[in-house]
């Protein structure tokens, strides 16, 4: 299968790269030059008119939206998501959409407040940190999220980078302590020990503890912002 992942280091494409590695699907990477705003170039807009990273080119066409790409990968590999009609499917779908529709958009507000409001950016970010903290508490207490044990899953591939980004791109440093969410902390530690994560961390310069104790990336090519 011919797959091409349009990516920038430590961008939302990280979630997709983790899933591709975990699925052992062969793929090529195409670096999007964020410093040159490559995500807004007409050639990129032709495959993703939203001008956002990631995009995955597949034999069935280009896919955008991280959650949709992850779901597609799970449907083209084994074991990353309970299949339709099987036990755990309903809860897994619920958390996939929660990650895509609740947690990810809140993080986008935190990282790009200027895309949402012209002034009062710090007020917006402060309120958003509170929202993200509350959302993480909901997940930490979830009775139906067995994937938090750090097993291979597209849900883990989506969550782990979002824990990382909140820690290093969230602005104020005093609000985020992963220890507040004991299950999420254990998830981050177990998940980052996976061989797939080590391969991705090397490729994108994420350091040795990319999810439990992240540091700013030092990628071999491209830039995160
Ligand atoms: N809803 C999109 C969001 C993707 C997204 O926020 N991508 C960021 C990188 S992490 C981006 O492309 N930012 C560049 C920009 O806003 O121009 C998805 O799930 O794929």
State pLDDT tens for residues 122-139: 999 999 999 999 999 999
- Tokens at residue 54, please? 């990631």
pLDDT at 225 over 90: no
117 domain residue, yes or no: yes
Q: Please write the tens of the pLDDT for every residue from 48-100.
A: 999 999 999 999 999 999 999 999 999 999 999 999 999 999 999 999 999 99
28 domain residue, yes or no: no
Q: Are 212 and 178 in contact (CB under 8 A)?
A: yes
Indicate whether residue 63 lines ligand 1 (CB < 6 A).
no
Q: Where in the chain does DSSP place strands (E)?
A: 4-7, 28-31, 55-58, 61-64
173 domain residue, yes or no: yes
Please give the distance, rounded to the nearest whole angstrom, from the Cα atom of residue 53 to the centre of ligand 1: 5
40 domain residue, yes or no: no
The 3-state DSSP class for residue 221 equals coil
In the chain, pLDDT over 90 holds for what percent of residues?
96
Please give the distance, rounded to the nearest whole angstrom, from the Cα atom of residue 12 to the centre of ligand 1: 6
- Cα–Cα distance, 154 to 138 (Å, whole number): 19
- Cα–Cα distance, 179 to 167 (Å, whole number): 12
Please give the distance, rounded to the nearest whole angstrom, from the Cα atom of residue 143 to the centre of ligand 1: 30
pLDDT band (50, 70, 90) for residue 21: very high
Please give the distance, rounded to the nearest whole angstrom, from the Cα atom of residue 202 to the centre of ligand 1: 22
Closest CA to 163 of 135, 144, 195: 135
pLDDT at position 173 is: 74
84 domain residue, yes or no: no
Q: Whose CA is nearest to atom 16 of ligand 1?
A: 52
Indicate whether residue 11 lines ligand 1 (CB < 6 A).
yes
Give the chain's domain count: 1
Q: Please write the tens of the pLDDT for every residue from 169-205.
A: 988 778 899 999 999 999 999 999 999 999 999 999 9
Which atom of ligand 1 sits closest to the CA of residue 52? 12
Q: Whose CA is nearest to atom 9 of ligand 1?
A: 11
128 domain residue, yes or no: yes
How many residues are there in the chain? 225
Q: Whose CA is nearest to atom 12 of ligand 1?
A: 52
- The DSSP code for 83 is P
List the domain range (segments joined by +) for residue 130: 89-194
Provide the CATH number for the domain around residue 127: 1.20.1050.10
């Amino acid at each position: 299968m011919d797959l091409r992942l349009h990516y920038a280091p430590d961008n939302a494409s990280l979630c997709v790269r983790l899933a591709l590695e975990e699925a052992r699907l062969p793929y090529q990477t195409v670096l999007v030059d964020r410093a040159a705003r490559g995500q807004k170039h007409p050639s990129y807009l032709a495959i993703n008119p939203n001008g956002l990273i990631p995009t995955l080119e597949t034999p069935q066409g280009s896919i955008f939206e991280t959650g949709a790409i992850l779901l597609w990968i799970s449907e083209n590999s084994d074991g990353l998501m309970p299949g339709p009609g099987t036990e755990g499917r309903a809860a897994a779908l619920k958390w996939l959409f929660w990650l895509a529709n609740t947690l990810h958009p809140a993080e986008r507000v935190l990282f790009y407040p200027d895309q949402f409001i012209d002034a009062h950016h710090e007020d917006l970010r402060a309120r958003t940190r509170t929202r993200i903290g509350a959302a993480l508490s909901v997940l930490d207490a979830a009775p139906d999220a067995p994937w938090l044990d750090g097993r291979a899953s597209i849900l883990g591939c989506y969550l782990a980078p979002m824990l990382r980004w909140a820690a290093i791109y969230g602005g104020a440093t005093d609000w985020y302590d992963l220890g507040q969410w004991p299950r999420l902390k254990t998830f981050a530690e177990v998940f980052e020990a996976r061989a797939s994560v080590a391969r991705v961390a090397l490729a994108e310069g994420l350091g040795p503890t990319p999810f439990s104790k992240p540091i700013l990336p030092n990628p071999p090519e491209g830039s995160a912002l």
